[in-house]
Amino acid sequence: MSTTYAVISTGGKQYRVRAGQVINAELLHVEKGKEVELAPVLMISDGDDLIVGNPEIKDARVLATCLEEGKKRKVIVFRYKNKVRERTKTGHRQPYTRLLIKEIVKPGGKPAAKKARKTTAAAGGDS
């Protein structure tokens, strides 16, 4: 696995990501299987090279694919006031988007070209 990693900001949080890593980010409203471009990129490290943005790196981005959208485990919120019989129990499930990090693109760099899929004609009889 490569030593290249990036620090990105999405949903008000910062994540340190590598190519091939799966993260749970805040809900992005993206369809399953669609590609997402995550920006701003705050920092990129490539072994010896370290690029730090001020506050972000121009023309740098992280490409990811949406694996699923879901909800995290339920968090129980229980409020209680002593001596007055006041109790409130509620729950909360935070929505998230699970992303597979595909590629980290440096400034001036181009993403790798996608290979075209070969399509084969269905074998049929005489027509």
- Digit-coded pLDDT (tens) for 18-43: 999 999 999 999 999 999 999 899 99
pTM for this structure?
Answer: 0.75
Residues 111-120 have a mean pLDDT of 46
Amino acid at 28: L
| pLDDT band of 48, cuts 50, 70, 90 | confident
4 and 45 in contact (C-beta within 8 Å)? yes
| Cis ω before 40 (30° cut-off from 0) | yes
pLDDT score of 126: 53
- What six digits make up the tokens of 73? 């485990």
Predicted pLDDT at 94: 96
Across 46-56, b (16+ Cβ under 10 Å) vs e yields: eeeeeeeeeee
Quote the radius of gyration of the chain (alpha carbons, Å).
Answer: 22
CA geometry: angle at 50 spanning 49 and 54, to 5°?
Answer: 145
Encoded tokens for 82:
């002593």
pLDDT at 127 over 80: no
Domain parsing of the chain, residue ranges: 4-105
